Structure 1
């Protein structure tokens, strides 16, 4: 037999074997826009279906541009999980082209809509000091910061996967039960960890943490930008420094992508400590406990700066 024919035969055999092993269907897969949604989806799909994240580490959903390879991943996915056009504008057109059953837009779900908080543009904290015109819409779209909403996301992913693969019901049910039980247990643990620092005031660079702060009773004094890609100008920095002193802030939290020079310029001449919050869980691998790991990492980032004696 011709070597090329042999190779083609092997490829056909491998494809046929894959179909047999997957019950006659091509292997399903989930694609999420950002890593934290991947944490939740991968927990529900654990051992059943792989989860892939569109945004690479270090990229922001606020201004990401899709590559041709991303478009292919979206088109070939069995389920695309994203927040909505207010956060991931880059996904609006590709998601709209998907069949309804494959397009899981979380902000539109009836189970999630009642839990949404008003966005920063409509309920701006006093002395926020931010100076950009990036519009997020009426609601805060950083949904993954809410343990309550995360639970609803898990239910929604479970239900969609169940429609795709009803034969995997027992495994999907078990994964959902594990996720919700772990979330409940760690919710109490996190509340206990944050209780000693709940009265300490701080500023954040990026208005991304409202759900987490409200859920755990933290004391944010303000934020400096809605869009983390926009750095504050000189006038804004001066205003921020004034607010830090006047409101007796203990900490100012930056994010991994902010240049140290910007952060140091803000804190210069004050006694305010500098911390880092990572709203996207960079470096946390997808898996059964990854969303819990994300919440615990965020908690430790708050505590490590706020709990130090002034």
Structure 2
């Protein structure tokens, strides 16, 4: 073996030995935020690819990712309940909901009543929450790798500025505008977009609406034409009985995007267009 080849092999081996253990992130929207915070320093790994977190199938490769990661960030057992067994005793796993950095909202009934001792886990849809999550990731990673603290915090401040600017650009003006949801998954967008929840068809997207709930929505509808926010998989047969509506599919998991700010602004813009069309 030549001296040059031997030197290269030793260099590669040393590089592998000193390689930074990766950071793993559970779901796509939090992964997008983590990507912004670690830009120029490292690339986080997404644990639950094409999975929402509610129904989880961990492969051997996923379990190895958890085992090798220097930090695992997840929303928490309230959102990714199946991960609790794998992460509950992991000292390197940090739950956003368990950290106390945000104030989550409670789940609501299909008629808008808060449900005691529950958590609406779609926390990333609130721009202020997204900013807090970004700074939280920067703080955690800076503690682990202080030599990159300046870059993490610079990225976090840039992300905060971009996120809050995006929020200001789509802020709703005037009185709160009513909307319906197929199931209540968008309340973290109500404050920044100036929306008013007027009811949901069902409390579970996999369960068909009841006749009683459809009647309730008809009887209490705040305007003749309503905006209905729903998953793109919702069947027209499940909402056509609502009469005159503007249907807007919303991907609250942001799974089709690779940039968090762009994703949030796009979703917010679609919702704004929906409620505006319903008022015409």
**TM-score, normalized by length of structure 2?**
0.85
Q: What corresponds to 2:107 in structure 1?
A: 119
Residue 269 of structure 2: which of 276, 283, 300 is its match?
300
Unaligned runs of 5+ in 1: 2-6, 20-24, 129-134
CA 1:11–1:71 in structure 2 vs 1: closer, same or farther (change >3 Å)? farther
Q: How many Å apart are 1:92 and its aligned residue?
A: 0.6
Assess, with a 3 A threshold, how the Cα gap between structure 1 residues 162 and 127 changes in structure 2: closer, same or farther. Answer: closer
State how 1:111-150 maps to structure 2 within 5 Å: 111-112=101-102, 115-120=103-108, 124-126=109-111, 138-150=118-130
Tell me which residue corresponds to 1:27: 20
Match of 1:222 in 2: 199
Alignment equivalent of 1:271, drawn from 235, 244, 265: 244
* Conserved? CA contact 1:251–1:274, under 8 Å: yes
Structure 2 counterpart of 1:37, from 27, 30, 44: 30
Q: Name 1:254's counterpart in structure 2.
A: 230
* Matched residue, 1:131: none
198-207 vs 180-189, which deviates more? 198-207
Is 2:156 aligned against 1:176? yes
SS of the residue corresponding to residue 206 of structure 1 reads coil
Are 1:87 and 1:136, in contact at CA under 8 Å, matched by a contact in 2? no
Once residues 182 and 200 of structure 2 are traced to their aligned partners in structure 1, the CA distance between those partners, rounded to angstroms, is 5
Cα RMSD of the aligned pairs, angstroms, is 2.7
CA contact (8 A) 1:205 1:225 kept: yes
- Could you tell me which runs of 5 or more consecutive residues in structure 2 were left unpaired when the two chains were aligned: none
Using the alignment, how far apart are the partners of 1:136 and 1:38 within structure 2? Answer: 30
| Whole-Å separation in 1 of the counterparts to 2:213 and 2:270 | 21
Deviation at 1:278, TM superposition (A): 0.9
Q: 2:218 aligns with which of 220, 245, 257?
A: 245
68, 71, 75: which one pairs with 1:76?
68
Assess, with a 3 A threshold, how the Cα gap between structure 1 residues 239 and 79 changes in structure 2: closer, same or farther.
same
State the alpha-carbon separation in 1 of the partners of residues 117 and 23 from structure 2.
27
Report the TM-score when normalising by structure 1: 0.78
Q: Is the counterpart of residue 93 in structure 1 residue 69 in structure 2?
A: no
Alignment of 1:1-80 (within 5 A): 13-19=11-17, 25-57=18-50, 59-80=51-72
Distance between the aligned counterparts of 2:106 and 2:242, measured in 1? Answer: 34
Question: 1:293 and 1:199, CA in 2 relative to 1: closer, same or farther beyond 3 A?
Answer: same
Aligned length: 272
Q: Is the 8 A contact 2:199 2:217 kept in 1?
A: no
- Residue 179 of structure 1 aligns to a residue whose secondary structure is helix
Query: 1:269 and 1:85 mapped to 2: Cα distance?
Result: 35
Q: Secondary structure at the match of 1:219?
A: strand
* Matching residue of 2:173: 195
Report the Cα distance in structure 2 between the residues aligned to 1:116 and 1:37, rounded to whole angstroms: 15
Higher relative contact order (CA 8 A, sep 6+): 1
Determine the C-alpha separation between the residues in 2 that align with 1:48 and 1:214.
Answer: 34
